[in-house]
Amino acid sequence: MTLSVIVPAYNEAPTIAEALRRVAAVGLDLDIIVVNDCSTDATTVEIESAAIPGIRVINHAQNRGKGAAVRSGLREARGDVVVIHDGDLEYNPQDFLAMIQPILRGEARVVYGYRPLGSQSRLYRLGNRFLTLLTNLLYGASVRDMETCHKMWRREVLEDVVLTANSFDLEVELTARFLRRGERIAQLPTSYEARSAKKLRWWVDGPAAVRALVRYRFRR
């Protein structure tokens, strides 16, 4: 079973090469797709310096956001299973080995890696908990970490779906699609070390996530 790893990257020059080397060392049959979202730093050079055999790179001509980057990666994914992985070293790709097991055993087609959020600031921690609680109330679910980047699923689950999210609301759209389709989301702990500089703007992305949760819940 091949695992497509989609790595959206925007100005990740300090970390992207090491992040890709860690992904390549996981020990699975991997299809690694990096989407360079019009970075203005040395991200392109660092991707090349990682020298990962078989890696595919998609370059956006303009910055379009994380959601758009993931959607570009999904269009090129060849694997039986797909996972999203950030290029900033917050997450450990070795967790893929545990996450893929419920899929291999046929217990679930979607797996989330939920984070220990103690390393986040109090504001982000409260925001994550609120959005996860709202998700569970709206969708009758029991998700532990709706905003986690580590979302893994069998590709056919969304093969007939046209995703539209361009920014961090991608996390909302994916979760809403899975839950509205009745997918059981298996959940496992995932490693996480929050970085100090966040690209997420809580005063913009937080309200946008709330609106998206309501919109995806009630639209056809």
Q: According to the model, what pLDDT value does residue 117 have?
A: 73
CA 62 to chain CA centroid, Å, is: 21
- 78's tokens: 């060849």
| Fold observed for domain 2-218 | Spore Coat Polysaccharide Biosynthesis Protein SpsA; Chain A (3.90.550)
Separation of alpha carbons 136 and 87, rounded Å = 28
Is residue 109 within 8 Å of 32, Cβ to Cβ?
no
Q: Please state the domain extents for the chain.
A: 2-218
* Span 105-116, pLDDT tens digits: 999 999 999 998
Output the CA angle 115-213-86, nearest 5 degrees.
Answer: 35
Residue of 73, 95, 81 lying closest to 145 (CA atoms): 95
Q: According to the model, what pLDDT value does residue 201 have?
A: 61
Question: What 3-state class would DSSP assign to 166?
Answer: coil
Q: According to the model, what pLDDT value does residue 206 have?
A: 76
Q: What is the value of pTM for the model shown?
A: 0.93
- 35's tokens: 């989407």
User: Which sign, positive or negative, has the C-alpha torsion 138, 144, 148, 151?
Assistant: negative
What's the pLDDT band for 203 if we cut at 50, 70, 90?
A: low
When mean pLDDT is compared across 72-76, 96-100, 137-141, 193-197, the lowest value belongs to: 193-197
What's the pLDDT band for 119 if we cut at 50, 70, 90?
A: low
- 156's tokens: 């056919």
* Span 148-199, pLDDT tens digits: 999 999 999 999 999 999 988 999 999 999 999 999 999 999 999 887 555 6
Separation of alpha carbons 120 and 64, rounded Å = 26
Region 82-86: what's the mean pLDDT? 98
Q: According to the model, what pLDDT value does residue 220 have?
A: 64
CA 74 to chain CA centroid, Å, is: 11
Residue count of the chain: 220
Is residue 180 within 8 Å of 173, Cβ to Cβ?
no
Question: What 3-state class would DSSP assign to 55?
Answer: coil
Region 63-78: what's the mean pLDDT? 96
pLDDT beyond 90 at 207:
no
| Longest Cα–Cα distance in the chain | 46
What is the number of other CB atoms lying within 10 angstroms of the CB of residue 62?
7
